[in-house]
Amino acid sequence: MTPLGRIIAGRIAQDGPMRLDDYMRLCLMHPQHGYYPTRDPFGAGGDFVTAPEISQMFGEMVGLALAQAWLDQGSPAPFALAELGPGRGTLMADILRAARQVPGFCAAAQVALVEASPHLRALQRQRLGQVAHLDHAGQLPEMPLFLVANEFFDALPIRQFQRMAGGWAERVVSLRDGALALALAQPAPLPRAGAEGEIWETCPEGPPVMAEIAGRIARHGGAALIIDYGNWDGRGDSLQALRAHAFEGVLDHPGEADLTAHVDFAPLAAAALAAGAAVSAPVPQGEWLLSLGIAQRARRLADAGDGGAPDALERLTGPAAMGQLFKAMAIFPRHAVPPPGFVPLSPRETGPFPDASPVGL
Ligand code: SAH
């Protein structure tokens, strides 16, 4: 068992079964043994590769989309240029480089990074120089906000419920013969339809983060681009562990594997609307990047001698790679045009919102 596994087993022995969101939070963020505070998980030598680490083209497209939204809203100055969970700082570096082409944008931008891991904060400072680091989105300044979050919401802890004959029961981490094991807790009061055996996931921290962002955009202007893998509902077990580029059981190596879950965009959209902002329909990442001209950019990079550009284009946009599973969604002020590549959410197309906050949770 890993050192963190022993700590978790000790807590369960003392306090009883642990909820999955508590387990996930400890695995990802325990100060001494958590996944993010203790390592650099990105890139070929790490556990997984994110879009900005695949190619500079991703950050360039995000940067130009944010700069276009800034121009469309009258070039407000100063403004906060923010990122949630910036990893190595690669995406923000590419955004700033691409946006240098837009006069006034970088001079008016006050960079603010929401990052929980001290280790990654240091990497971000190496890459970007002195930047403001915040603990959570509630600390973002009250000013126009142009923000990106790539693979941030999938790292927020989730809870899972399973439909049994008599109702829903929460999935928890328990002990079996001294080892960590998944179990079902007491029935949970969850008024949702669901076939027996079905699993439903909810991410309690996601909507409050979204409300902080969308409230600022509604009050002061701005735009947020949320990019992540996921869908428009929380049905099914999507919790996964990734270690050295291979999937494994979520209880196998607590603290040493990355844990993520599919993002349910519907409750995030609902929180943004409730905070007074407008929301786009989620667009598949491939479709969004192609609509911004990434294929033309890849051709120019290839012509200039970047032999990896065609392959990177395929990984970012191909339906069998990241193009279809990953979605992009934009938040913007009600009376502004949507950022490039997005159309406003039409409830008719996407159906009603599933319950974002069921009774009794
Ligand atoms: N956006 C980067 C990294 C994604 S990994 C990229 O695309 O490469 C998730 C990032 O979110 C990491 O930087 C991690 O430390 C950070 N993170 C995860 N949970 C967080 C939380 N609750 N608060 C702040 N940062 C968090």
Q: Which tens digits make up the pLDDT trace of 250-293? A: 999 999 999 999 999 999 999 999 999 999 999 999 999 999 99
**Residue 220: is it exposed, middle or buried by C-beta count within 10 angstroms (0-12/13-18/19+)?**
middle
What is the per-residue pLDDT for 348?
54
Which residue ranges have their beta carbon within 6 Å of ligand 1? Answer: 36, 42, 50, 52-53, 85-87, 91, 114-117, 120, 150-152, 155-156
What is the per-residue pLDDT for 188?
81
Mean pLDDT in consecutive groups of 10 residues from the start of the chain, 361 residues: 97 97 98 92 82 97 98 98 97 98 97 96 95 97 98 97 92 97 89 90 96 98 97 89 94 97 95 96 96 98 96 97 96 97 75 46 50
Q: What does the alpha-carbon distance between residue 124 and residue 63 come to, in Å, rounded to a whole number? A: 17
Nearest CA to 150 out of 263, 226, 82, 63 is that of: 226
What is the per-residue pLDDT for 347?
60
Tokens linked to 319: 């339906």
Residue nearest to atom 10 of ligand 1 (CA): 85
Pocket test for ligand 1, best of 127, 152, 205 (most atoms within 8 A of CB): 152
Q: Is the peptide bond preceding residue 78 cis, with omega within 30 degrees of 0?
A: yes
Instruction: List the alpha helices (DSSP H) in 33-72.
Output: 51-54, 56-72
What is the per-residue pLDDT for 14?
97
Tokens linked to 232: 């428009």
DSSP structural state of residue 138: G
What is the per-residue pLDDT for 354?
47
What phi and psi, each to the nearest 5 degrees, are found at residue 10? -60, -45
Q: Which tens digits make up the pLDDT trace of 93-122? A: 999 999 999 999 999 999 999 999 999 999
Q: What does the alpha-carbon distance between residue 275 and residue 157 come to, in Å, rounded to a whole number? A: 22
What is the per-residue pLDDT for 47?
84
Q: Which atom of ligand 1 is nearest to the CA of 114?
A: 24
Alpha-carbon Rg for the chain, nearest whole angstrom, is: 21
pTM of the model: 0.95
What is the per-residue pLDDT for 358?
44
- Domains of the chain, CATH where assigned: 35-158+203-284 (3.40.50.150)
